[in-house]
Amino acid sequence: MSVPAGAFGLSRASSGEGALPHRPGAAWWRAPVDHLPGVGPATAERAGAIGIGTIGDLAEHLPSRYLSYDSARPIGGLSEGEEATLRVTLDSISVVPTRRRGLRIVRAKVHDDSGTISAVWFNQAYLAGVLEPGDEMMIRGKVSLRPQRQVTVKAHEVLGGGASEGLHTEGLVPVYPATEALPARRLREMVDAARPLMPAAPEILPSWVRARLALPTRADALAAMHFPRTAREPRSGRRRLAFEELLVLQLGLIAVRRHEEVARRALPLAPTGEVIDLVRAGLPFTLTAEQERVARQVSRDIRRERPMRRLLQGEVGAGKTVVAALACAQAVEAGAQAAILVPTETLAEQHLRTLDALLAPAGIAPVLITGNVPRAERDRREMAVATGTAQVVVGTQALLVGDVRFQRLGLVVVDEQHRFGVEQRQALAERVGSGADAAHLLYMTATPIPRTLALTAYGDLRVSAIRGRPPGRQDIATRWVHEEEREDAYEQVRAELRRGRQAYVICPMVEAGEEGIGARSAVEEARRLAEGPFRDFRVGLAHGAQKPDERRAAMAAFAAGDTDLLVATTVVEVGIDVPNATVMVIEDADRFGLAQLHQLRGRVGRGEHPGMCLVFAEPAAEDGVRRLEALVQTNDGFRLADIDLDIRGEGSIMGLRQSGPTDLRFARLSRDRRSLAEARRIAKVALERDPRLEMPEHVLLGQAVRAAFPDMPRLLDA
Ligand code: ADP
Ligand code: MG
């Protein structure tokens, strides 16, 4: 691989092997890492395996933390339970077999001037073949002194000695995400070799932005991360990189929204009151203030010609459906059709019943279109949709994939939108139309996300929320039950059943051995409970591997009160509403996400009796413990979402976005809330000054935005 010689400050040939230019040009940034002195093809290949191809990639491979060996502690002065860094010499090392299958421990004897201690590694047997007696090394880990003096190693580093040793031991030493083949030490040497090239880092932030927020240049920020002189430097460097990343994202998201707004026209759905008033008059309850507020927002949005793109958040039971029904009513009275899209057949059927009841007073009969509807009947219904006789349509993705034609589609409501895959959402976006015949779009989700995340994941949408649950909802008391209290908990459940209430038992798997060993399966659990602890009660079973008819029958029997206890997988997460069910037992709760656990327990406490949720779990990891503690402590889904963000980071949630990058490299939303707000503000200012980002100082920024949103090539052209 060669790089055009003229592109560098100096040509490679004339500068001699390994020499780097004095004033590096931008081409260096894109040069492969084996152009660095001391980096050969083998190392380049290992670097490639972790996504480092170019010198720029290497420079952006940031340390995950720093070690300061000035703070190395003497072995003689350690105390129980502390985490400490030690500088030691290795005396002996061996692999120790354990009784636990699959677990191997490496144990080493190490010493310094003040004493000796054992160092222990879990599941890194290869170390016994790599480390040798006499090795000088730094280790960091947790100290315990009884029953024996031992440090459980979290990180270690062999000190090589020699001229460049200072790189690995002096001052703040960066620790890079590394692999066995490419250890942190080697990465540190590579980054050091690239040091003279840092000034080649392309600067995409215009100087007015840097000045306003007092941010360092990109080159300085990277240098601060890799070669910090003080503990503050990496922080300011990282802040700059995170800000830049968030700015690019916000620019893109705002541009997406603008693009949609100018490029698309929807039917303006002006309310006349004809239908809405009848629907409102027929409601069996009055709307809460929150529902009224959101209903007003939606009503205002959809009377415009500009297509609505709104996300409505509200936990399970918050009362989103009636808001959707009112919007449908407005569409109908404006002479248009409305479609409600849901992720599962069960939910579609449930929605049909609910909407049927809500819209009946206005004489509207919603139509169901799912894969389950027999072909002939489906043809008939699709015809009704095409001719406009069907005014409100409820359906699954069958509504998207087939060639269902609407006569005059004005509004699409997507319920439980987080359960749709990316492809389905894209199909939807295409389906609801481009150009002149776009539809208004209302996304609803029961998995609330923190506002910071909403801005990032859904920056192209407007967001509303219904907080809290409607009046009349019962509290749900949640208890985390340990194995030894199982009998006791079952007695609590039986007591409820004897009072005539019903209970769910949720298992993470359908059948045993499906994934991992030990998790309870619905099929076996149903048998066990029916023959054992609940032999005096009627036990039902519902799971996703059943035939739809069988599953429906099981759910219907439970809804009708013909079974007392329903053992199920998460198929009941949505789409079942049994007011008489007051107990939710969740097995292996640590296998579910926090949002899902919260959704599950929302299935009880829906009637006149308070709900009870018993979660069984023995989480192996700290995160699991924190999640369960949070679940027990609060019933507020928005609060839980915040906690979840702190525990998990945003990684998996970012995939919710419809366009643009799906993850963040530098920013962490739980930590960079302020940068996010700043980025949003700056993005608006920049786009106001220069809507296409074409002024010289914005050109590179514009390129970065386009690169981040490759599926929207004309993003900034509007
Ligand atoms: P979700 O937000 O989970 O979709 P739903 O719309 O299904 O919630 O509402 C849950 C239940 O609360 C329904 O049975 C509905 O009839 C009832 N409900 C909705 N709004 C109110 C209200 N303002 N007062 C009393 N009950 C309500
Ligand atoms: Mg709902």
Ligand 1 atom 26 nearest Cα = 470
From ligand 2's centre to the CA of 584, what distance in Å? 19
In DSSP notation, 307-372 reads PPEEEEEE-TTS-HHHHHHHHHHHHHHTT-EEEEE-SSHHHHHHHHHHHHHHHGGGT---EEE-TT
Looking at residue 6, what is its pLDDT? 36
Nearest 5°: CA angle at 596, between 458 and 560? 120
Name the β-bridge partners of 509.
521
Residue 386 · residue 407 · CB < 8 Å: yes
**Ligand 2 centroid, distance to 321 Cα (angstroms):** 6
| CB-based pocket (< 6 A), ligand 1 | 285, 287-288, 291, 314, 316-322, 446, 470-472
396 touches 348 (CB < 8 A)? yes
- How many angstroms is it from 282 CA to the middle of ligand 1? 14
Probe residue for ligand 1, chosen from 287, 292, 313, 321 as the CB with the greatest number of ligand atoms within 8 Å: 321
Please check whether residue 16 is in contact with residue 189, taking contact to mean a CB–CB distance below 8 angstroms. no
Nearest ligand 1 atom to the CA of 321 is: 6
661 pLDDT above the threshold of 70: no
- Residue 111 C-beta-side C-alpha neighbours within 13 Å: 8
Distance 336 CA to ligand 1 centre (A): 25
Nearest ligand, CA 325: 1
pLDDT digits (tens, 9 = 90+) for 362-421: 999 999 998 888 999 999 999 999 999 999 999 988 887 767 888 899 999 999 776 676
pLDDT band at 14 (very low <50, low <70, confident <90, very high): very low
Beta bridge partners of 566: 504, 540
> For the chain, which domains are there?
71-169 (2.40.50.140), 276-303+319-445 (3.40.50.300), 476-635 (3.40.50.300)
Q: Choose the most confident range, by mean pLDDT, from 29-43, 155-169, 401-415, 513-527.
A: 29-43
Residue in this structure with the two tokens 């992720």, named with its chain if needed: 343
For residue 416, give the ligand nearest its CA: 2
In testing the pocket of ligand 1, which one of 279, 283, 285 has its CB within 8 Å of the most ligand atoms?
Answer: 285
Position 689 scores a pLDDT of 94
611-to-201, 369, 476, 477, 507 alpha-carbon distances in Å: 58, 34, 4, 6, 19
Q: What's the 474 CA to ligand 1 centre distance in angstroms?
A: 13
Nearest ligand to the CA atom of 319: 1
Closest listed ligand to the CA of 326: 1
Give the tens place of pLDDT for each residue, 180-211.
Answer: 788 888 899 999 999 999 988 999 999 999 99
Summarised one tens digit per residue, pLDDT across range 454-490 is 766 666 678 898 987 777 777 889 999 998 899 999 9
Q: Which band of pLDDT confidence, cut at 50, 70 and 90, is reported for residue 519? A: low
- How many helices and strands, by DSSP H and E, does the chain display? 26, 20
pTM: 0.66
Closest ligand 1 atom, residue 291 Cα: 23
DSSP symbols for 453-477: HHHHHSTTSEEEEE-S--TTPPPEE
